[in-house]
Amino acid sequence: MGYSLGGMYAALLTGFSDSGAFDADRQRAITEYVLRQGLQGLYIGGSSGESGLMSTDELHEQQEIIAAMPAARTSHVIAHVGQPNTRDSIALAQSAATLGFDALSALPPHAYPFSDEEIFHYYAELAAATSLPLIVYEVPVRTGRPLPLELLQRILDLPNVAGIKFTSTDLFKLSMLRRSRPDKIYFFGFDEIFAGAAALGCEGGIGTTYNVLGKLYVELFKSVTASDLQKARQLQDTSQRFVEVLLQTGVIPGVKAALRAIGVDAGFARGPLIEQDNKAEQTVGAFLREEQVQPWLA
């Protein structure tokens, strides 16, 4: 179950107007650029899309816009639906199912220090809400704590749960999880060390920097699966240098600045996110103009 979903997915950015409102035209511009990069598909409504700063109504509208784009219909679309409460998460999940998306995903609930049982029951309710396969999520940097291995195993055993997006540096835990539940699909979420997780058997990746360098990540995954270690190292090095630049600008604001630098009308991040470098577009633009980076721009 779920292996047809494998591959590389951009954690899609969201388009906002200069006043900070959700902007359908900018959303289409971002999505069209991302879809030209040869990725397996899109992961929409997630943290990279600033979903924590958006209303449920805006996320519904974003789903509808993506679903209406002809190019998106030829790709797989995973809809992230994790909201601060179960009711809104289920509403977004059912909307995604109605619109014909391929799968769901959701952060664990983290607005409060929820117990393991509360997290388990959240995923159980969400998985039962539609017939779509569900990709659960391990992301301690966002939730404030790693989920225990035993809890992740229980969640993966739920009906309709197809796999996990694993965004943690604990690759030993990832390996133990894969050995214990080999029939599930494993996506990795840290762009800058993707090659390591791919070498351990992950079936794909979901990342923020894929919005700009999706072609590079597709080739990186191919290089690892072909055991071309030299090329994989080279491509991962380029990825890491991009992340280093983004740490100067702020990751999400910096990725939007990178898109603007190559002519995509991506707009800016929604407040309180700000560009930490007042020349962010120039900073990331200089990196993108490097000879070894140019071939990877769509």
Cα 129 to the center of its chain, rounded Å: 22
Q: Whole-model pTM?
A: 0.96
The mean pLDDT of 284-296, rounded to a whole number, is: 97
Please report which confidence band the pLDDT of residue 224 belongs to, taking 50, 70 and 90 as the band edges. very high
Give me the catalytic one of 9, 43, 123, 137.
137
Give me the catalytic one of 122, 165, 215, 256.
165
Mean pLDDT of all residues belonging to the chain: 96
Domain locations in the chain as residue ranges: 3-296
pLDDT tens, residue by residue, 7-39: 999 999 999 999 999 999 999 999 999 999 999
**Active site (annotated) includes residue 165:** yes
**Active site (annotated) includes residue 222:** no
Helix boundaries (H) for the chain: 24-35, 56-68, 70-73, 86-98, 116-128, 140-143, 149-156, 171-180, 194-199, 210-225, 229-249, 251-261, 280-288
The mean pLDDT of 97-111, rounded to a whole number, is: 96
Give yes or no for residue 221 having a pLDDT over 90: yes
Please report which confidence band the pLDDT of residue 2 belongs to, taking 50, 70 and 90 as the band edges. very low
The mean pLDDT of 228-254, rounded to a whole number, is: 98
| Architecture field, domain 3-296 | Alpha-Beta Barrel (3.20)
Give yes or no for residue 42 having a pLDDT over 50: yes
